[in-house]
């Protein structure tokens, strides 16, 4: 019969083959038990599993305030021509830059060009708004509806169209329909009383834009016949 000690030459003389195998198996088993932590108190060194953030309780959402642009999207050019607009249903008129996109619905009208714009609407009113009334009623409405609303000031204002207040605040603009991009805007909201109603005139542009003269021209052109 052929010898069965293939691969065992070189072993320590006199050590039985069975004991050598048993020792090797025992060593492997000991290493495996050590790797398992032997006793169930193992420590994992793997990276933690990422979890998906959960929305706030009650379905509340948070609007992130967009930082003002480093490069302002654009002033209204000094060379801009202005054209009159009359809303017979709302009983008001004012001038706006020529060529701006127009949207009208009943007593409301808006004119926009990129992130600049002017919008007018009518509110019921029997007396002129005051700083106190605007802070009590108008500011909370804006805070509830304007994305990332931040109040700058509320002051008394008088235009050729009549007396009222000027509310200056900041918001995130609506997303651009093509790029999906928003910018931080500053809004000058006039609430002017005349003919037993209040006309709200909003003039807005990107934060940092120099639109003082165009805003003055549009607001001074407002009339409530």
CB–CB of 121/103 below 8 Å? no
How do the pLDDT tens digits run along the chain, 225 residues long?
Answer: 444 444 434 444 444 444 343 444 344 434 443 444 444 444 444 443 333 344 444 443 446 776 655 455 689 999 999 999 999 999 999 999 999 999 999 999 999 998 999 999 999 999 999 999 999 999 999 999 999 999 999 999 999 999 999 999 999 998 888 888 899 999 999 999 999 999 999 999 999 999 999 999 999 999 998
Q: Please state, in angstroms and rounded to a whole number, the distance separating the CA atoms of residues 125 and 199.
A: 9
Strand order in the sheet with 150-159: 101-105, 108-113, 116-124, 197-206, 184-194, 162-172, 150-159
Contacts of 7 (CB under 8 A, 6+ apart): none
CB–CB of 76/116 below 8 Å? yes
Q: Please state, in angstroms and rounded to a whole number, the distance separating the CA atoms of residues 162 and 225.
A: 10
DSSP 8-class letter at 57: G
What pLDDT does residue 225 have?
85
37: left (phi over 0), alpha (psi -120 to 50) or beta: left
Nearest to 7 by CA among 28, 15, 17: 17
What pLDDT does residue 200 have?
98
Contacts of 199 (CB under 8 A, 6+ apart): 90, 92, 120, 121, 122, 123, 161, 190, 191, 192, 222, 224
pTM, two decimal places = 0.70
Quick one: tokens of 58?
A: 């009650």
CATH of 82-221, one of 3.30.420.40, 3.40.50.1860, 1.10.3090.10, 3.40.1000.10: 3.40.1000.10
Q: Compute the Cα dihedral for 103, 206, 170, 94 and give only its sign.
A: negative
What pLDDT does residue 63 have?
65
Cα angle 160, 161, 164 (rounded to 5 degrees) comes to: 100
Domain segments of the chain: what residues? 82-221
The DSSP string of 71-122 is S-S-PPPTT--EEEEEETTTTEEEEEETT-EEEEETTEEEEEETTEEEEEEE
């Amino acid at each position: 019969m052929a010898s069965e000690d293939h691969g065992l030459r070189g072993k320590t003389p006199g050590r039985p083959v069975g004991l050598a195998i048993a020792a090797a198996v025992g060593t492997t088993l000991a290493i495996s038990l050590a790797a398992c932590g032997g006793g169930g108190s193992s420590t994992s060194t793997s990276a933690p599993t990422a979890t998906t953030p959960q929305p706030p309780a009650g379905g509340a959402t948070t609007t992130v305030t967009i930082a003002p642009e480093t490069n302002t999207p654009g002033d209204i050019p000094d060379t801009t021509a202005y054209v009159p607009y009359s809303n017979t249903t709302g009983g008001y008129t004012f001038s706006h830059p020529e060529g701006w996109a127009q949207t009208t619905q009943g007593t409301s009208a808006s004119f926009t060009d990129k992130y600049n714009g002017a919008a007018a609407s009518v509110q019921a009113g029997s007396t002129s708004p005051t700083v106190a009334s605007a802070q009590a009623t108008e500011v909370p409405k804006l805070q509830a509806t304007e994305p990332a609303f931040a109040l700058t000031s509320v002051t008394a204002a008088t235009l050729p169209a009549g007396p009222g207040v000027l509310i200056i605040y900041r918001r995130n603009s609506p997303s651009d329909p093509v790029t999906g991009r928003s910018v931080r805007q500053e809004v000058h909201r006039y609430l002017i009383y005349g003919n037993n109603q209040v006309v709200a005139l909003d003039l807005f542009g990107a934060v940092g834009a120099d639109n003082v003269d165009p805003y003055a021209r549009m607001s001074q052109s407002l009339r409530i016949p």
